[in-house]
Structure 1
Amino acid sequence: MTINYPNGRKFIKPERHAQTDAPSPKRKKKDYSFSNRGKTLEDELNETNDFYLQRGLAIVHKKPVPLQIVKVEYPSRSAAVVREAYFRTPSTTDYNGVWCGKYIDFEAKETENKTSFPLKNVHDHQIVHMSQVSKAQGIAFLIIRFSALERYFLLRYEALEVFWERMLKGGRKSITLQEIEDTSIEIEPKAFPRLDYLPALERLLNETRQHESGEL
C-alpha cells in the first residue's frame, strides 16, 4: 500500500542501520516470558491500557491516524485492499486519556541505540502539541524504550524541552542514556501488565508538586 504525506510526498519507511555505539554497563538479565518477546512498544502499551481500562484505573487510547483513502481494489466481493492513501494532517502524539482526573498525553518511542536517544525521533509538531498540553495543565511525556537494553523510561515534556532547546541552539542532537537516567523515571517491566507506567506517572506528579512547593 502506498501512503503519501499531505504535500504529496510518498511515505518511505526508514531503513534500520546497524548501531555502532559502545555497549552500556551490563545489567542483570531479566527472565521475560516468551509471550512478550517480539512485541513492539505499541503492543505493550495497548495491552497495558486495556488492563487499566478493565480495572477502572485510567482511560487511555491510541489516537487513530487520519488517512484519506485514494485507491481501493477489490480482489473479491468480500475483500477490499487499500492501495494508496494520504496522511490528512501530521499526527500529534500516540496516546491520550484521563487518569486521576488529569488529562495525560504522550508519545511512545523506541530506539535500538544503546547509549543515547536520537531527537530526530521526535517531530516539531509533536513538541508544539506537548507544549500546548503542558501549558493547559495537562501532563505530557514520552515513554522511551531502549530495545537493545530492554529498558523503559518516562520522560516528562519539561525535561524533553530542555534537550530540544539545546539541540536548536547547536548542541547535541540526542539525549545520552545518562541524561535519560538522571531526568526520567525508569519503568520496570513485569509479567502483567507488561508496562505498568502509572506508578512512574504518580511519582512524576509527586516530584512536580514538591518542586513547585520548593521541597526539592
Structure 2
Amino acid sequence: MAFHYPNGSSYASAKQSSTPEVKPHSNTIYGGRGMTLEDELNAANAYYLQTGRAVVHKKPTPIQIVRVDYPARSKAVIREGYFKTPSTTDYNGVYRGWYLDFEAKETKNKASFPLKNFHQHQIDHMRACLRQDGLCFVVIRFATLHRLFLLPATPVIMAWDAQITGGRKSITLDTILADGYELTPQLVPTVPYLDGVDWLIKKKVGTLRGKNEPE
C-alpha cells in the first residue's frame, strides 16, 4: 500500500498498532520487550481513560484514498493514498482541566537527541499551542540508555530556532536533564507520563502566581 505526503513524497507506512488491552494486575514491565514507545503510550492512555485520570488519544491522520482494488465483491483493498495535510503532533487530550498536546520520539543516541526527528510544521504547531496556554511537550526515550523523559516544548522550540542560525543540531542529554523531567517506568502504566505533566503543571502554576504577585 502506497501513501504520500501532500508534496508527493512517499511514506513507508508502518503497521498500525491498536490500543492494547490494559491489565492492571500484570507483573511484567514491557519497556524494552518489543513494544514501541507509541505502543506503550497507547496502553498508558487506555489505562488513564479506564481509571478516570485523563482523556488522551492518538491523533488520526487524514488520508485521501486515490486507488482501491476490489479482489472480491465484499472486499476493498486500498492500494494508494495521500496524507491530506502534514501531521502535527502525536497525541492530545485533557487532564485536570489542562489541554495536553505532545509528541513521542525515540533515539539510540546516548548523549543527545537529534533535531532532525522533528519537522517545521510540528514546531509551528507546538508554538501555537503554547500561545493558547496549552501544556505542550515531548516524551523522549533514549533507547540505548533505557531512560525516559518528558521535555517541555519551549526548550525544543528554542533549540530548533537556534540551529537555523548556526546552533547545534541536537538537544544534549545534559539540557534534557536540566529542563525536563525523568520518568520512572512502572508496571502499569509502563510510561507514566502524567507524573511529568504534574511536574509541568506545578511549574506553570508557580510561574503564573509569580506574575500575579504585586511588585
TM-score bracket, normalised by the shorter chain, equals: 0.7 to 0.9
Q: Which of residues 149, 154, 160 in structure 1 aligns to 2:156?
A: 160
Mean Cα deviation higher: 77-86 or 38-47: 77-86
Structure 1 runs of 4+ aligned residues shifted over 6 Å read none
Whole-Å Cα distance in 1 between the matches of residues 154 and 209 of structure 2? 17
Give the distance between the partners of 1:139 and 1:97, measured in 2 at CA. Answer: 10
Distance in 1 (CA, whole Å) between partners of 2:200 and 2:32 is 26
Contact 2:30 2:190 in 1 (8 A): no
Q: Which runs of 5+ in 2 are unaligned?
A: 14-26
Pair 1:206-2:202 in alignment: yes
Change (3 A) 1:191 1:169: same
- Please show how residues 107-146 of structure 1 align to structure 2 within 5 Å: 107-146=103-142
C-alpha change, 1:70 and 1:94, in structure 2 (3 Å) is same
* SS of match in other structure, 1:200: helix
Q: Give matches, 1:59-208, under 5 Å.
A: 59-208=55-204
Partner of 1:8: 8
Instruction: Show the counterpart of 1:20.
Output: none
In structure 2, what is the equivalent of residue 58 of structure 1? 54
Distance in 1, Cα, partners of 2:128 & 2:195: 24
Deviation of residue 43 (structure 1)?
0.3
- How many residues in Structure 1 have an aligned counterpart in Structure 2? 198
2:41 corresponds to 1:45: yes
Separation in structure 1 between the aligned mates of residue 173 and residue 106 of structure 2, nearest angstrom = 13
- Give how far 1:213 is off: 4.0
Amino acid of the structure 2 residue aligned with 1:8:
G
Deviations 1:116-142 (A, max 9, x none): 100011111111111111111111111
- TM (norm. structure 1) is 0.85
Q: Which amino acid aligns with 2:195?
A: P
In structure 1, distance between residues paired with 2:70 and 2:32: 35
Structure 1 equivalent of residue 20 of structure 2: none
What does the per-residue CA deviation read over 1:154-208, in whole Å, with 9 as the maximum and x for residues that have no partner?
Answer: 1111121221122121010001111111111011111111111111111111123
- Residues 78 and 113 (structure 1 numbering): CA distance in 2 closer, same or farther, change over 3 Å? farther
Partner of 1:28: none
How far off is 1:34 after superposition?
5.6
Distance verdict in 2 for CA 1:138–1:33, change over 3 Å:
closer
Deviation at residue 143 of structure 1 after TM alignment: 0.6
How many angstroms apart in 2 are the aligned matches of 1:112 and 1:35? 15
RMSD between superposed Cα atoms in Å: 2.0
Calculate percent identity across the aligned residue pairs.
51
* 3-state SS of paired residue (1:86): strand
Structure 1 counterpart of 2:3, one-letter code: I
Which range moves more in the overlay, 135-144 or 72-81?
A: 72-81
Larger mean CA deviation between 57-66 and 32-41 belongs to 32-41
SS at match of 1:205: helix
Partner residue of 2:16? none
Give how far 1:12 is off. 4.8
AA of the residue aligned to 1:55: T
